[in-house]
């Protein structure tokens, strides 16, 4: 194929990423750069590359950081899968691309016991006399972080009336402009209603601060102070860790990974798989108890 052919194929792939996958602008730009550089290294023959060509690319990437190689490989694998799906190739050579071990550690994990201790502190605070409205705000913040998996930015920038008492969900626009439906539990709606009664009706935000809304930095500080009071090392917790706990505990309770992907707003299921850490013991137990062969063995 000519260089022009590669350019056309790359543009078709990127257009698919925009229209169907809903990828963020930065992701599309990074994929485009990686694909064009690979095309240059293969002298405009990326679209017709064979396994040996991709092994040559891997050799050329040896001096790069593992995370960079992982990103480039991911971009090319998606590109070749797209060509195969569209019938533009009869094969998919993506398996020849390097798969470097990621240096990214597993997300920090809170146990259900840790979460229980956080809510116990909140309950003690709310029982104090006289009552402090900030304790109601704390309850609403934690209920939404742990009960709905909101990102910190999404949480602090919620409009005052975003959560209705009679509607068990919220429609959010997250990364890449993707809209998603977020479930709001009865507990969270009750906590929000109790807090909103203390928010001036003239304020635009559910969690106002100064002339705007609560900052992500201040939210981080509030969550760490709560952890310290609950006897949890503050460096083990953050708003993001509570979001992760939401996903992990739902998965451990039997939630479907695709449903979690939708609730978390991930464009790629691979992100959800990393995000929702599940220990190997539970996976083994799941196979033994749910797999048809395991059930057949139990009946013998």
DSSP letter string, 226-287: HHHHTT--GGG--HHHHHHHHHHHHHHTT--HHHHHHHHT-SSHHHHHHHS---HHHHHHHH
CATH 1.10.150.130 residue ranges for the chain? 3-96
Q: Which of 275, 277, 290, 291 is catalytic?
A: 275
Q: How confident is the model at residue 273 (pLDDT cuts 50, 70, 90)?
A: low
**Catalytic site includes residue 146:** no
- Determine the pLDDT at residue 101: 62
Q: Which of 56, 89, 160, 240 is catalytic?
A: 240
**Catalytic site includes residue 240:** yes
- For helices 239-252 and 257-264, give the axis angle rounded to 10 degrees: 160
- Determine the pLDDT at residue 280: 47
* pLDDT tens figures, 155-181: 999 999 999 888 888 888 766 667 788
**Catalytic site includes residue 99:** no
**Catalytic site includes residue 220:** no
Gap between the Cα atoms of 109 and 238, Å rounded: 11
Range 112-279: architecture per CATH: Orthogonal Bundle (1.10)
Q: Which of 78, 117, 151, 244 is catalytic?
A: 151
- Determine the pLDDT at residue 214: 94
Q: How confident is the model at residue 124 (pLDDT cuts 50, 70, 90)?
A: very high
CATH 1.10.443.10 residue ranges for the chain? 112-279
Q: Which of 7, 175, 178, 203 is catalytic?
A: 175
Q: How confident is the model at residue 276 (pLDDT cuts 50, 70, 90)?
A: low
* pLDDT tens figures, 177-208: 677 888 898 999 999 999 999 999 999 999 99
> Is the pLDDT at 224 greater than 90, yes or no?
yes
CB-CB neighbours of 59 under 10 Å: 9
> Is the pLDDT at 294 greater than 60, yes or no?
no
Q: Given the structure tokens 């104090």, which residue do they identify?
A: 128
DSSP letter string, 117-182: HHHHHHHHHHTSSS--HHHHHHHHHHHHHHHH---HHHHHT-BTTSS-TT-SEEEEE-GGG-EEEE
> Is the pLDDT at 286 greater than 60, yes or no?
no
**Catalytic site includes residue 243:** yes
As a whole number of Å, the end-to-end CA separation of the chain is 59
Range 3-96: architecture per CATH: Orthogonal Bundle (1.10)
């Amino acid at each position: 194929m000519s260089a022009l052919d590669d350019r056309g194929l790359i543009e078709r792939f990127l257009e698919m990423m925009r229209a169907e996958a809903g990828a963020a602008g930065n992701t599309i730009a990074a994929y485009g750069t990686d694909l064009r550089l690979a095309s240059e290294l293969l002298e405009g023959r990326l679209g017709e590359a064979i396994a040996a060509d991709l092994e040559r690319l891997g050799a050329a990437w040896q001096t790069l950081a593992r995370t960079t190689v992982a990103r480039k490989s991911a971009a090319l694998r998606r590109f070749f899968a797209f060509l195969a799906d569209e019938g533009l190739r009869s094969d998919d050579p993506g398996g020849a691309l390097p798969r470097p071990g990621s240096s990214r550690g597993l997300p920090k994990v809170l146990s259900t016991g840790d979460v229980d201790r956080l809510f116990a502190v909140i309950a003690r605070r709310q029982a104090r006399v006289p009552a402090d409205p900030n304790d109601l705000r704390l309850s609403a913040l934690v209920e939404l972080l742990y009960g709905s998996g909101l990102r910190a930015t999404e949480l602090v920038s919620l409009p005052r009336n975003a959560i209705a008492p009679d509607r068990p969900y919220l429609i959010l626009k997250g990364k890449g402009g993707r809209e998603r439906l977020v479930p709001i539990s009865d507990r969270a709606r009750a906590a929000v209603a109790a807090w909103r009664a203390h928010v001036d009706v003239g304020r635009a935000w559910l969690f106002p601060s100064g002339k705007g809304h609560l900052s992500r930095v201040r939210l981080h500080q509030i969550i760490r102070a709560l952890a310290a009071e609950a006897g949890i090392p503050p460096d083990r917790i953050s708003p993001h860790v509570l979001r992760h706990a939401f996903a992990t505990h739902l998965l451990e309770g039997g939630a479907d990974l695709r449903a979690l992907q939708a609730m978390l707003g991930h464009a790629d299921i691979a992100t959800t798989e990393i995000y929702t850490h599940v220990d190997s013991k539970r996976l083994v137990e799941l196979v033994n108890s749910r797999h048809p062969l395991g059930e057949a063995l139990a009946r013998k």
